[in-house]
Chains A and B, each alone.
Chain A
Amino acid sequence: MTLLEVKNVVKQFDGHRALDGVSLEVPENSVYGLLGPNGAGKTTLIRIINCITAPDSGEVLLNGKRMTAEDVVHIGYLPEERGLYKKMKVGEQALYLAQLRGMTKKDAQKALKYWFEKFEIQTWWDKKVEELSKGMAQKVQFITTILHEPKLLIFDEPFSGFDPVNAEQLKREILELRDKGVTIIFSTHNMGTVEDLCENISLVDKAKVVLQGNVAEIRASHATNTYQILTKKALDVNGFELIESKQKNGIFESTIKKDLSDTNNLLLQRLMKQTEILSFQEILPSMNDIFIDTVTPKI
C-alpha cells in the first residue's frame, strides 16, 4: 500500500526550476531513498512534503488524501541543516520541541525518559547544548524527531557527524522503527547505506526524477554481464572477454565479460571444460556506480 504519493510536483524559483514534474510513490512500512547530487531539488521536495513551501502545481497525497498542514503532525522531519538552541538545556529543549510537535508535556516527558535511557544519555538532561559534541547533539535531534511516533519519518543525511559505532546504532534504530510499521524516507549521498537500508529509491537530478524503482531491480537492470570466477587454473580466453586476472595462493581470480547472447549455463559449460570452478558470481554495479553513471553528463 502506498503511504505517500507525490504527483507531478513543479516548483519554480526566481530564475530556475527546482522541481520539474516530480512524481514518486512511497510504499507503507518501507525505507525509501531519495538520492541526487547537491542542488538537485531534494530539499525543496522534502520541504514541499512537510508543507513548509507550497508547490506551484502538482500535489502530495498522504494515505490517498491530499495533505494539509494538519497532517504534518504525522511526519517526523530531521533536516540536513539542523541545530538546537545553544544556551538551552538538553532536556528542556527536547521537551519544547516535542510540545511544538503537539505532544503534551506529560507524554513528552515519559517518551523522553524512555529514549534517553535507551541511548544511555540520561546524564545529558541538564547539560547545555553548547557543551555537547556534534554527534551528541545529533542524537538528541534524532530522538526529538521520532519522539511523537510519526507514521512517516524523513531523514536528510542522518548519519553526518556520527562515528561508525553510533552510525551503526542509528541504523539499527531505523530498521527497528521500520519493523514497528513506520515508513522512512532517506535523503543521502551515502550509497552504502542506501544498499543496506533502502528497498526503493528515486534519483533526482536537475529537478527531474532520472531513476526510480526497487534497489535490487535497478542494480540487476544495470548489470554489465561481468562475472567473478575463481578457478584452479588460468583461463583460456574463448567465447568471452577477460577483463582482469590475478593469482593468489594457487587460486586464479578472473573478471570476465560474456557476450550478451550467451546464457550463464553456456558460459559455465565452456569454462568447465577448461578447469575446475571454485566460485562463480555475477558482479552487480554498486549504487554508487549507478549514481555516478546516471548523473554524469554523457558525451
Chain B
Amino acid sequence: MSKINLIIKREYTTRVMKKSFILLTFLTPLLLVGMIGLIVWMGGIKDDNIKKIIVIDQTNLYKDLLKSNESYSFEYVDKQIDTYKNNPDQIKEITALLYINGDLSKNPEAAVLYSEKQVNMELKSYISGQLNKYIEEQKLAAYNIPDLKQMVEKSRTDIDLKTIKWGEGGKEKEGSAELAMIIGMITAFIIYMFIVIYGAQVMSGVVQEKTNRIVEVIISSVKPFELMMGKIIGIALVGLTQFFMWVVLTVVISMVAGSVIGKNIDADTLQQVSQMQQMGMQPTSTQNLPPELQNLFSALTGMDFVKIGGLFILYFLGGYLLYASLFAAVGSAVDNETDTQQFSMPIMLPIIFAIYAGIFSAENPDGPLAFWCSMIPFTSPIVMMVRLPFDVPAWQIILSLSILILSFLGTTWVAAKIYRTGILMYGKKITWGEMWKWLKY
C-alpha cells in the first residue's frame, strides 16, 4: 500500500470510529425526521370526543340540515333557549348551542352560536359553510331560472398560476420558484457547513501533529506533501461519508416512520378531502391530496436531481479542497490552537461573505452579483449551489468549475510550500511576511 493511502486510511478510520462522529451521524437524521414528524403529528391530533351541539331552530326551516359526523353530533331539540341558559349543568354537557330565530336568507344574523367556552374555528366555519351553501341554493332556486345552479357552478373559477419550464424539444416541466430557492439554499448551506467544520478539522489535525511532535517522526518517512494531502483527502472522505449516511438514514427513517403512521395520514387526508367536498369545494384532482402538495410534487419531479446532486459533490469537493489546504497551511504555521484564530480569520471571511452572497443571489439568480460570485472560486461553491435549481447555462457551470479546480491546485501548491516549512518551525511567532518568505524556500 502506498504511503499516502496509509495516511488517508488512518485519518479516515480514527475519525469515523470516534464516538462523537457515530453519534452525530445517527442522531442528526433521527432528530430531523423526529422534528418534522412531531410537527406533522401535533398538527394532526384529532379530538376523539364527539362534540355535541344542540340546535334550536325556531323557524323550522333548517331541520336536519346539519348532519352529524365523526367530530360533531347535531341534535335538534324543541326546547326554549332559556332552559339551557339558566341551567349550567346542562350546558356543561354540550359544546355549543346553535340558535336560529329567523329566516337566514332575509336576516343573515339570525343564527347565533352559544357556548361556555370559545368554540373553535373549524366548528364555526363548518356550520356557517353548511348554512351558506343551503341559503345560496335557496336564493338561486328563488330566481326560478332553469339550470341556474349548474351555470353558477361552472362560472366558479379558481386561478392557480402554474410555472412551467420549457426544456429541450418543447418538453414541459412544472417548476416552482419557491422550491428552487429552498433546494438552492439547503445545498449551499450544507456546503458552507461542511467547509467550515471539516476545514477546521484539517487545521486542528495539523496543529495537533505539530504540537505533539509526531510530525518529526512521520516526516522522516513520508514527504510533507503526502502527509498534508493524506489528511485533507481522509477528512474529505469522512465528510462525504457523513453526508451520505445522513441522506440514506433520513430516507430510511422517514420511510419507516411513514409506514408506521401511514394509515393515519391516509385516513386524515381522505377525511379532509371529503370535508372539502361537503363544504362545496371541488378538489382540483381526483387524487386525495391537497392541490398545493400536488404542485409541489410535480415541481419536485421537474427538478433534475441527478444533475444537482452530481454538481453538489463536485462543488463540495472543490470548495473543500480549496479551503482545506489553506487551513492546513495555517495549522502548520502556528504553535498552538489558540494562535490559529488570527490566521484563520482571513480564510473565514470569504466563506461568510459567500453565504450572504448566496442569500442575495437567491432573489436574483441571474444578476451580476450572483454571476460573479459563482465564478470567483472562493465563493462559487456556495453561490453556484443557490443558482443551480434556477437553471444555469452549461458554459457558466463549466467555466466556474474549471476556475475552481485551477484555484484549488494553486492554493494546494501554495499551502504545501508553507506547510513544508511550517511544520518543522517551533517557538517562533509567525507573521504574514514570514509565511510569504517560506513560499520562496
Contact = CB atoms under 8 A, between A and B. Distances in A.
B1 interface: yes
Contact of B217 (A53, A87, A97, A99): A97
A86 B3 CA distance: 21
A84 interface: yes
B218 A72 contact: no
A77 interface: yes
B6 A99 contact: yes
Contacts of B214: 82-85
B222 to A, nearest CB: 6
A47 B3 CA distance: 20
Interface string B411-441: 0000000000000101000000000010000
A193 to B, nearest CB: 21
Given A14-B437, A52-B424, A87-B14, A100 B216 contact: no
B221 A88 contact: no
Interface string B1-24: 101001100100010000000000
A228 B218 CA distance: 50
A231 interface: no
A208 interface: no
B412 to A, nearest CB: 20
Contact of B6 (A52, A77, A83, A100): A100
A269 B261 CA distance: 114
A83 B213 CA distance: 5
Contacts of B223: 69
A75 interface: yes
B6 A96 contact: yes
A141 B6 contact: no
Interface in A180-211: none
A83 B217 contact: yes
B212 interface: yes
For chain B, what secondary structure do more than half of its interface residues adopt (helix, strand, loop), or is it mixed? helix
A135 interface: no
A101 B221 contact: yes
A47 B218 CA distance: 12
B121 to A, nearest CB: 58
Contacts of B86: none
A14 B1 CA distance: 38
A14 B425 CA distance: 13
B219 interface: yes
B10 A83 contact: no
Contacts of A77: 217, 220
Interface in A92-140: 96-97, 99-102
Given A52-B424, A88-B14, A99-B6, A79 B216 contact: yes
Given A84-B214, A85-B214, A86-B212, A52 B219 contact: yes
Given A14-B437, A96-B10, A100-B218, A85 B212 contact: yes
B217 A52 contact: no
Contacts of A84: 212, 214, 217
Contacts of A30: none
Contact of A99 (B1, B212, B219): B1
Contact of A81 (B6, B221, B426): B426
A214 to B, nearest CB: 29
Nearest to A69: B223
B222 A100 contact: yes
Given A82-B217, A83-B217, A88-B14, A100 B212 contact: no
Interface string B334-373: 0000000000000000000000000000000000000000
B14 A83 contact: no
Contacts of B1: 99
B217 A79 contact: yes
B418 to A, nearest CB: 14
A50 interface: yes
Interface string A55-80: 00000000000000100110101110
A134 to B, nearest CB: 12
Contact of B221 (A53, A72, A85): A72
A169 B393 CA distance: 72
A276 B221 CA distance: 63
Nearest to B213: A83
Contacts of A96: 6, 10
B5 to A, nearest CB: 10
B222 A83 contact: no
Interface string B218-240: 11111100000000000000000
Interface string A139-173: 00100100000000000000000000000000000
Given A47-B424, A99-B6, A83 B220 contact: no
A81 B217 CA distance: 9
Nearest to A154: B220
Contacts of B7: 100
B3 A82 contact: no
Nearest to B212: A83
Contacts of A14: 437
B218 A97 contact: yes
A184 B51 CA distance: 94
A144 B216 CA distance: 13
A297 B366 CA distance: 74
Nearest to A77: B220
A83 B223 CA distance: 18
Given A81-B426, A96-B10, 5 more contacts: A50-B220, A85-B212, A97-B217, A99-B1, A100-B221
**What 10 A-B pairs come out closest when comparing CB atoms?**
A83-B213, A83-B212, A79-B216, A81-B213, A83-B214, A77-B220, A100-B221, A101-B221, A50-B220, A81-B216
26 contacts: A14-B437, A53-B424, A72-B220, A72-B221, A78-B217, A79-B217, A79-B220, A81-B213, A81-B426, A82-B216, A82-B217, A83-B214, A83-B215, A83-B217, A84-B212, A84-B214, A84-B217, A85-B14, A85-B214, A86-B212, A97-B217, A97-B218, A97-B221, A99-B1, A99-B6, A100-B218
